[in-house]
A and B are shown apart, each in its own frame.
Chain A
Amino acid sequence: MSTPPAKIHNVPMGEGPSGRAPKGVGPARIGIYAFLVISALFFLLPLYVMIVTSIKPMEEIRLGGLFTLPTTITFEPWAKAWSSACTGLDCRGISPGFWNSVKILVPSVFCSIFVGALTGYALSFWRVRCANLLFAALLLGAFLPYQVFIYPLVRIYSATGLFSTIYALVLTHVIFGLPVMTLLFRNYYAGIPIDLFKAARVDGGRFFSIFFRLMLPMSIPMLVVAVILQVTGIWNDFIMGLTFGGLANRPMTVQLTNLVAPTEGEIAYNVNMAATIMTAAVPLIVYFVSGRWFVRGIAAGAVKG
């Protein structure tokens, strides 16, 4: 498959380093390794703190702070964070938020990618009036801060009875996912030979049949990238879930902030950290499993910001 001609000048990584070959172990070499190792420790620090604290009993946190290794390991905070930690009077842990996020995620990812691929395909192969205008307007959605759109959207959703339903959230993710998805697929289709499309036209293919039978099956690499992007993006969303989700459809990120909000009495840092790891788990797993695809995704769609 050809590489998508993405906008962020992405030569896929792994073509081999271009720096000089080492001439043995000189001080420069040691310096480079020292810099890399220290940086890696800086990046790892928060993950380390979260994991270590989440398996410590509270007594140890009180005595030793955040950075020491646990002497006794307990998984009780994890169990508590998942199913019995309290948000106000609601003591069901973070799990309802997890399931809400799943319920939001699946249709949002599917719909946003479908609409994006269709739009990218139409703009890429078909003669459309004012295509550039449409494309320019689409970029607005990618680049402008959400605060510009959010109040009218609240009013529109209220007027149509969509407010604080799952549909409002799915629709919102389709709306704000569209620019990046369109861009992704438009660039990808720009790399597909036009003769292929013309041949399909000669064979009597129509707009939708060419899309479903030819282009969509050819787009599998881009579909993978799109799924990675949208799963991490939508899972990590906070502002949409907070604004449009209402009480019943709070995604996991929103519920996490409620769960860790200071309450009366001692703050259970271990439970809070366990809940935080759980919230970070889905995008992290996607990241570690997908590896190079993730890099390709951010290179191609990082405009999301």
Chain B
Amino acid sequence: MKQRPIRWSVYAGLTPAILIVVFAYIGTIIWTVGISFTDSRMLPVARFAGFNQYVRLFATERWLTSVQNMVIVGVLMIAISLALGFLLAVALDQRIRAEGFLRTIILYPYAMSFIVTGLVWQWILNPTLGIEQTVRGWGFENFRFDWIIQKETAIYCVVLAAVWHAAGLVMAIMLAGLRGIDQDLWKASRIDGIKPWRFYWHIVVPILRPSFISATVLLSLGVVKLYDLVLVLTGGGPGFSSDVPAKFVMDYLFQRQNIGLATAAATTLLITVLCALTPWLYAEYFRAEKRKD
């Protein structure tokens, strides 16, 4: 395919993609970043204000709380989902009866929306309706499980619901990885009499490194985008104790009408994601990916 003249029909076919990239992605990003350097409040104004919005942003307690929450959810949710998903995949891989049935049950939460997930868990965790109420009904009058209405613990309810939603995805990725491991390795380990747990820890986990990386990237993207789940599960409350950055941006854009601050927050998110992702994206999509023809 060398030296072929440019064919306009190819570019006609790419027009939608090019328009979307130029206007909907790059254009809007520039616009958003641009607003963040002005002192816009309710409406965008073109008065340049340098880093004022960013200074104000990082002096806003609610923003700092939401960033902290993102880190808490990120670390805990990813660690727990990876561990649980991996263990489930290993367990399912032991010639289990009804494997397909169990797999279906473990993965179905991933098909549900965050809205549905959030609502159900909000009902289950609601102290006057769900678990606390039920256990008290069994006669344990002093039983307390009111994480969702306590400032210090509400964010852990988000972690719980997010793990419930995502663990199946990790399981699916890990199981696919396990099924791809060379059968001879298993035979060899059996002949050598290596203990199963040592085999998994020292051989299988390193082999599954790409699966762990993929799963981690997917889960962290979900953490940055986390919005609907928090909105219905805790509403960001009590107060703003379980707020997250994406929700902070949405609230300041559309409810609190402070678009300067909101776009500064969005830009901060953008930079964070770009810094974290660029190396992975490069390795995953561009290295050694040239089509041979």
> Which residues 185-201 in A have Cβ within 8 Å of B in the complex?
190, 194
A115 near B232: Cβ-Cβ < 8 Å: no
Q: A18-B181, A49-B124 are in contact. Are A149 and B108 (CB under 8 A)?
A: no
**In the complex, A230 has a CB within 8 A of chain B:** no
**In the complex, B72 has a CB within 8 A of chain A:** no
A143 near B281: Cβ-Cβ < 8 Å: yes
Contact with A along B1-42 (1 / 0, CB 8 A): 100101101111110111011011111110110010000000
**In the complex, B176 has a CB within 8 A of chain A:** yes
- Enumerate chain B residues within 8 angstroms of A127, measured Cβ to Cβ: 1, 4, 10
A141 near B24: Cβ-Cβ < 8 Å: yes
A137 near B25: Cβ-Cβ < 8 Å: yes
Which of A124, A144, A236, A303 has the most CB atoms of chain B within a 10 A radius of its CB?
A144
Among the stretches B50-58, B73-81, B150-158, B222-230, the one at the interface with A is B222-230
- Enumerate chain B residues within 8 angstroms of A288, measured Cβ to Cβ: 104, 108
**In the complex, A243 has a CB within 8 A of chain B:** yes
A207 near B9: Cβ-Cβ < 8 Å: yes
**In the complex, B149 has a CB within 8 A of chain A:** no
**In the complex, B92 has a CB within 8 A of chain A:** yes
| Contact count A vs B, C-beta below 8 Å | 318
B113 near A128: Cβ-Cβ < 8 Å: no
> Which residues 235-252 in A have Cβ within 8 Å of B in the complex?
235-239, 243
**In the complex, B175 has a CB within 8 A of chain A:** yes
B181 near A151: Cβ-Cβ < 8 Å: no
A236 near B112: Cβ-Cβ < 8 Å: yes
Q: A149-B25, A182-B17 are in contact. Are A207 and B169 (CB under 8 A)?
A: no
SS class of chain A's interface: helix, strand, loop or mixed? Answer: helix
**In the complex, A50 has a CB within 8 A of chain B:** yes
- Enumerate chain A residues within 8 angstroms of B210, measured Cβ to Cβ: 9
Q: Quote the shortest CB–CB distance from A107 to chain B (angstroms).
A: 14
- Please measure, in the bound complex, the distance between the C-alpha atom of A53 and the C-alpha atom of B119, giving whole angstroms: 13
Q: Quote the shortest CB–CB distance from A292 to chain B (angstroms).
A: 9
Chain B interface residue bracket vs A: 35 or more
**In the complex, B63 has a CB within 8 A of chain A:** no
- Please measure, in the bound complex, the distance between the C-alpha atom of A233 and the C-alpha atom of B171, giving whole angstroms: 20
- Enumerate chain A residues within 8 angstroms of B293, measured Cβ to Cβ: 194
- Enumerate chain B residues within 8 angstroms of A108, measured Cβ to Cβ: none
Q: Quote the shortest CB–CB distance from B14 to chain A (angstroms).
A: 5
**In the complex, A36 has a CB within 8 A of chain B:** yes
B291 near A299: Cβ-Cβ < 8 Å: no
A49 near B123: Cβ-Cβ < 8 Å: yes
> Which residues 255-275 in A have Cβ within 8 Å of B in the complex?
256-257, 260, 269, 272-273
Pick from A13, A147, A280: contact of B116, CB under 8 Å:
A280
> Which residues 103-127 in A have Cβ within 8 Å of B in the complex?
115, 118-119, 121-124, 126-127
A145 near B94: Cβ-Cβ < 8 Å: no
- Please measure, in the bound complex, the distance between the C-alpha atom of A10 and the C-alpha atom of B218, giving whole angstroms: 14
**In the complex, B201 has a CB within 8 A of chain A:** no
**In the complex, A7 has a CB within 8 A of chain B:** yes
**In the complex, B259 has a CB within 8 A of chain A:** yes
Q: Quote the shortest CB–CB distance from B4 to chain A (angstroms).
A: 6
- Please measure, in the bound complex, the distance between the C-alpha atom of A138 and the C-alpha atom of B14, giving whole angstroms: 12
Q: A15-B179, A148-B28, A257-B232 are in contact. Are A128 and B10 (CB under 8 A)?
A: yes
**In the complex, A302 has a CB within 8 A of chain B:** yes
A279 near B253: Cβ-Cβ < 8 Å: no
- Enumerate chain A residues within 8 angstroms of B24, measured Cβ to Cβ: 141, 149, 153, 175
Contact with A along B240-256 (1 / 0, CB 8 A): 00000110011001100
Q: Quote the shortest CB–CB distance from A232 to chain B (angstroms).
A: 6
**In the complex, A218 has a CB within 8 A of chain B:** no
Q: A65-B133, A128-B10 are in contact. Are A21 and B119 (CB under 8 A)?
A: no
A39 near B88: Cβ-Cβ < 8 Å: yes
Q: A8-B214, A33-B96, A122-B10 are in contact. Are A66 and B113 (CB under 8 A)?
A: no
**In the complex, B67 has a CB within 8 A of chain A:** no
Pick from B20, B94, B107: contact of A22, CB under 8 Å:
B94
20 residue pairs A–B, Cβ–Cβ below 8 Å? A18-B181, A20-B190, A32-B91, A33-B96, A40-B106, A50-B120, A65-B129, A66-B130, A121-B13, A126-B10, A136-B286, A147-B245, A147-B266, A151-B253, A152-B28, A153-B28, A253-B113, A257-B115, A287-B111, A298-B110
Top 7 A-B residue pairs of the complex, sorted by shortest distance between their CB atoms? A236-B113, A305-B221, A152-B28, A287-B111, A207-B9, A19-B94, A11-B180
